[in-house]
A = this chain, B = another copy of it.
């Protein structure tokens, strides 16, 4: 059980990591401005343990998820006037509202490694399995969808100031893999790199419970988990039954 205390919200005028860029361009003859964040491409991996017929996913406390719930409860903490100083937040929400289930994943930041090599490293680091590169199966790739949602709203607000513009956040490419593991491939406990601030809990979801889990909204999760569990049902489970 996670414990989260002494929350304080403050300004972030020069984040090392959240660096917005501004783009000017003409689309079909119309001048536009678009603010966006840089972000890395990423890989994520659906891991299925055949020895015990379960999926292997990770569970983490996510401050951004926790703060969404906090904002729902105490929107006044997020108003602009409060952004200039540090404001202690009420300690009223349990840490569990910020815990999410996710696929094992990592960003693509080493040009010398293939997507498959990065995926295998993440599986070992986060979940503790040594997976042979050649057994990894590519499912598909897609674009981060966050920008799509944000842009519509931002355009509407921006219009008040400039007449025409919009804002997007990231358009990075995500590639999804499938890896089958056995208990014999277990090389370590996983759990990420605590010295880098990662506190990852490895969780096994039995195959027989997986679709109930996927659609049970009381377990917060990313779409990658829901999609890949369903992909497995359609593309892998029928072969399991045959064998």
A222 at the binding interface (Cβ < 8 Å): yes
Chain B residues lying within 8 Å of A42, measured Cβ to Cβ, are 149
- Asked if B64 contacts A217 (CB within 8 A), the reply is no
Interface string of A214-243 (1 = CB under 8 A from B): 110100111111110011011000000000
Interface residues on A, range: 35 or more
- Asked if A22 contacts B27 (CB within 8 A), the reply is no
- Asked if B26 contacts A222 (CB within 8 A), the reply is no
Given that A146-B39, A223-B142 are known contacts, is A21 also in contact with B12, CB under 8 Å in the complex? yes
| Complex CA distance for A88 and B180, rounded to whole angstroms | 47
A191 at the binding interface (Cβ < 8 Å): no
Stretch in contact with the other chain, from A48-56, A103-111, A127-135: A103-111
Chain B residues lying within 8 Å of A151, measured Cβ to Cβ, are 62
Chain B residues lying within 8 Å of A148, measured Cβ to Cβ, are 60, 62, 100, 102, 105, 222
Residue of B nearest to A25 (CB): B7
A190 at the binding interface (Cβ < 8 Å): no
| Complex CA distance for A71 and B145, rounded to whole angstroms | 19
- Asked if A226 contacts B227 (CB within 8 A), the reply is yes
Interface string of A62-105 (1 = CB under 8 A from B): 11111110010000001000010010000000010010101001
Given that A105-B148, A107-B150, A227-B226 are known contacts, is A164 also in contact with B197, CB under 8 Å in the complex? yes
Chain B residues lying within 8 Å of A214, measured Cβ to Cβ, are 140
Q: In the complex, given contacts A41-B68, A64-B170, what are 14 additional A-B residue pairs having Cβ atoms less than 8 angstroms apart?
A: A4-B27, A7-B25, A8-B23, A9-B22, A17-B167, A18-B167, A23-B67, A28-B199, A62-B151, A65-B171, A144-B222, A148-B222, A156-B193, A166-B198
